[in-house]
Structures are given as structure tokens and as C-alpha cells.
Structure 1
């Protein structure tokens, strides 16, 4: 499936809910309270994924909000996994409640996990997530390793003045365990990110830790630049969409939980798939194909971009 600039689009980031059991400082704002009312059903998700696979999608990442708040998550995963063309089925989660469900998700066909973890300090983690429990995350990681889940990646959003004192601790995590730690640059979405002063560029971290050396990427289209040091069991990655734009090799689109196909995180254009869902699979196929063709050349983060959706409403 090609867009107008000749990029092969084969990666779907599938948000199954806007709901979340945390309120991370860079993600959710105000007193928003989301319900399941406008979420696509498991059957609707399955129909959309079927057409996207027919169009060439080969990787699906389940996101939210927090996917684990959906009681039918295992069914959603199983419906995706039944497509042999999907070579990589993974999920991004905050791991609150993961420990008791990860074995069933693995059996349903989930292959990998990205786990959001912004602090290794119990009190700071609770503050940054506004109520999360660090023990739940660590228990979820242990359970995922125990049930044979594939490569686990830890996603850490660096925020100046919040968790920048822990950068060395996260790097040691990648050294001592078979886990990839990826530092994510704070994006200009929401008040915290749009301020601009809290962003920590990758160059600043690399200057402070010269023992980190570049290594070959695990995937040619991955957004992270990977590094490692002597004796590392995992890697340290940097995802820097603002300071190191990677739009030229972008191979992804996003489906929001309310049925809108979004071509770019840093562009507000969306296509509502619900009208096509109410008609036929053929109409759904053509609607998706036409929307992907119009994917913009790149994001607008560098031009005072203001997202009309908070991060939890787009899908992480």
C-alpha cells in the first residue's frame, strides 16, 4: 500500500480505547472522563484490520489510552492474530493489570510488548502517572518474561525537571537485562509538550554518556536510533520526532478508537471510517486506500503545531 510519496505503508497503530487508568502528565489534561460509548466494537475492529491486511499491513500495534481497560482485549488480539500476513503483533501498555493477563494475551497471539515506564522511583512514578503503581509495572515485566513474550521494550518519556535524574538508571536497565530502553522526546502535544522548555534532545543524553555507541537498527523503518555499550544485554534507543525528523521513512498510520484513520501524529487530518463500515467491505477498502494515498509528507511539530486531540485520544 503506497502513499502519494511512494512510501510503503504496512504498519497500523490501532487504538482500542481512549480510556486509561492513569493520567500521565504529558498525555491527559484537565478532568476528562472517557467512556466506552464511542469505541469501535471488537467486530468493527476486526473488519477494519481485515481490509488493512488486504491492502498490505504487516505489523499491528495495539495501543490506547490503555488497552488493558478493555475486557475483550484478548478477543481483539486473537482476531488480528488469525491473519498469517501479520508478522508482528505487539502492544503498548502501562502494565497496570498486565501481570494477570499477559499469559492469556500471549496465547491469543500477542508477540511483543512496549511498556511505558517513566520512573524507577516509586514516588516519582506515582506523581508522573498521577496514581500508578510501580510494582504493577515490574510485576508485569517479570510475568511477560516468564511466559515467553518476545522482545520487551521500555518506553520512557524524558521530561526536564521530572525524571532526567534517572537517565543513568534506565541505561543500566538496558545493560543488565535483555530489554530495550527507548527514550522518547517530549512531543509538542498538550500544554506540557507545547511549552518546549521541558524537552531533552538525544544529543544532550549522548554527550553525558559517551560509552553509548551506535548499533544497527532492528528494523529499517524503526523510529529509534539505537545505541549500546560494552556488555549490554539490551539497547538504548532514542525516538526524537522533533529534533531528528524521520518522516521520509514513515510507514505507519493510526486508527483512533472512535473509528478515524489518522495519517500522521503531527497533522490533524483524519478520515472517518464509520460511514464505510455501515455500507460494505468494498467501500471500507476503498476509503482506507484513498486516505492512505493522501498521507502528508511530514509532521508539523516544528511550526507551532497544535493537536486537536490529546495523546490518549490519538493512540500512543
Structure 2
């Protein structure tokens, strides 16, 4: 049997997202409502366990790793893990997704350690609103971190903006304006129904196609190109990570914006992602509850490979929440919040 990570639908998986902690210093309403207490330090995968696991996945074709949380920068000495992951044969890119509050003082060490990709979550540019959405966050710290990221040598930075109807959808043009001046990739993401309490999700959900109409009304001329959205130095062709965003550039802009539609236009047929939770569970799909506990097999290469392959065989063709509200099958609660998976 081949060790290559191909599922029963022929999808090649070359990208793994690894949560290094469930803890977060924010309480965003769609990710960590109520500031749920995460797994204890004693239950977290150690850096040694993560490196051993990624080494096996690299043998099976994984080329990109993304570190997530919770808030991954709450994990001490994260730059050490970054350096060790970059040293693994076959791993070409190591990324980080962060809320940015702790980033400014750590971004240079992360860059020096070999971090190649940096995504920052930012759902509002308005201080009071940002604080309300995040449960007390300070947007000025995030903006300062973006400046520090450019200073550290990142040519582009990606901003993840979860759009919520009636909450931050009036800021679309403000985010688009940022791309005119700065080499930012603003990625608008549809609000997903995750967690046990799905009441109220539909009221906050909005599809993203209206963004293109708003660009036209604002007088923006757009260009779309399959090469947009790829940072300088990122691989192309078979080495690319096949990200889900459809990218556009306002003519003359320094940056770009992308649309990520996991609900209204799901991209399951091109999914190449695997996920490992902070406490050692392997999830082949973000939006299904099925997962396998891998910790007892770490260090046993062949057994771990067989576990990964067995999990992929059971990966469904698409996630359970695809389609427009009102036409979707009844939503099923997920066992984990987004903060407990890592997105």
C-alpha cells in the first residue's frame, strides 16, 4: 500500500494544521465564546511529539505545516518549534495563525527561526467594536504587530476577516482600502456554524458574493488571476498548498483580497488539509466530529502511517454544513469549538 496521503476521492493531502494550545487570550464569539477553558499543559502534545509526527507526515507527502490555537503564541518558545519543523526533510513552509496581540515582540524571532507564512485574525478596525467582538482585545496592538511583521521581513501578510451580518459587514470597504496602500492579503471568510450552540448562527451569516458588487459600486476596477494570492517565493503547481481563497486585486493596489466561502461555495473537492488538535487527535475534516487519537502511536512510524491512512479512507466527500441557509441539511453540533481545533 502506498504511504502517500490520498483519500478515497483522490484528494492529495500535503498540508497539516497543528494546534499547539487550546488556550486563548481573547473570547471571540464565533471561536471561543465564553472563553472555554482549554486542555491543560499536561495534556498538550510536546514539541518532540509534534516534530516526530510531522516527520512521519513529511515522509507521506506533507510539505506545509501551520501552527494554530487557541492562540499559539501563548505556547512558550514557539520559535524553537518553528526551527525544528523547518529542519525536517520535505517541509518547505511553516506558517502561523495568530490574533496578533503577542506578535510584535516575537515576530522577529519567529522569522529568524524560519517562519514563512503569517496570518493575523482581525475582524474589525474600530477599537470599540474589536473589543466587543473579541471579548476585550486591543486593536492597536494588532496593527502594531502588522508593522512589526513587515519590519521583520515578511513581504506580505494575510489578514483573516470573519464577516458577520450586522456586526462588521459595514467595514468591507475599509478593509479593501488597506490593500490600496499596503501589501496585505485581506481574506474575507464566511461565518461557520461551529460548536454545540448553533442558535443565532443564521442571523449572523452572510455569503460573500456581495463583496464584488460593493467593489463595483465603490468604483473599484478588479483583476482576477490564478496567480494572485501567492506570496513571493511560494511554490506553484504540485508544490502549492491549493488554498481555498479566490483572490482579486483592485487595479493599482499594493495588496489583494480573497473570498473564502466554506458554506455557500464549499471547496471540499480540492481539500488538501489535515488537522491535529493540541491534545493529540487527528481530524481529517474540520466540520465532522470523527477523529482518531494518535498520541499512543507517536514514535511508532509504521503504525502511525497506517492510522493516518485509515483515517483518510473514512474522510467524507464534503463537510456537513455546505449550502445556503434554508437549503442546507439540518445543522449538527460539533463536539469541538473552533478554538479547540485550530481552524
TM-score, normalised via structure 1 length: 0.95
Which deviations, in whole Å up to 9, do the C-alpha atoms of 1:30-69 show, x marking residues without a partner? Answer: 3522232311111111111111111110111111111000
Q: CA, structure 1 residues 4+159, in 2 after alignment: closer, same or farther (shift >3 Å)?
A: same
Specify the alignment match of 1:125 in structure 2.
130
**CA pair 291-162 structure 1, distance change in 2 beyond 3 A:** same
Contact 2:122 2:159 in 1 (8 A): yes
1:177/1:247 CA distance change after superposition, 3 Å: same
CA contact (8 A) 2:187 2:257 kept: yes
Aligned length, in residue pairs: 315
Match of 1:309? Answer: 336
> Equivalent of 1:245, from 260, 266, 270?
266
Q: Check whether the contact 1:254–1:263 (CA below 8 A) recurs between aligned residues.
A: yes
1:215 — aligned with what? 225
Q: Note closer, same or farther for the CA distance 1:293–1:180 as it changes in structure 2 (3 Å cut).
A: same
Alignment partner of 1:181: what SS?
Answer: strand
Judged with a 3 Å threshold, the aligned counterparts in structure 2 of structure 1 residues 145 and 221 are, in CA distance, closer, same or farther, namely same
CA contact (8 A) 1:116 1:155 kept: yes
Decide which of 16, 25, 30 is 1:26's aligned counterpart: 30
2:234 is aligned to none
Gaps of 5+ in 1: none
Q: Of the candidates 143, 151, 155, which is equivalent to residue 148 of structure 2?
A: 143
Superposed counterparts of 1:161-310, under 5 Å: 161-190=166-195, 191=197, 195-210=201-216, 211=220, 212-217=222-227, 218=230, 221-277=242-298, 280-301=300-321, 302-303=328-329, 304-310=331-337
Report the CA distance between 1:131 and its aligned residue: 1.1
Structure 1's 31 and 118: CA in aligned 2 closer, same or farther, altered over 3 A? Answer: closer
Other structure's SS at 2:297 match: helix
Matched, 1:83 2:88: yes
8 Å contact from structure 2 (residues 17, 273) kept in 1: yes
Displacement of 1:213 after TM fit? 4.0
> Could you report, residue by residue, the CA deviation over 1:179-211 in whole angstroms, capped at 9, with x for unpaired residues?
100000000113468621211211122222123
| Alignment deviations for residues 66-123 of structure 1 (CA, whole Å, 9 cap, x no partner) | 1000003112111111024112211100011111111111111111100000111111
CA distance in 2, matches of 1:13, 1:220: 12
Residue correspondence of structure 1 range 53-68 to structure 2 within 5 A: 53-68=58-73
For 1:30, what is the secondary structure of its paired residue? coil
CA distance in 1 between counterparts of 2:30 and 2:124 reads: 14
Instruction: Determine helix, strand or coil for the equivalent of 1:228.
Output: strand
Structure 2 unpaired stretches of 5+: 231-239, 322-327
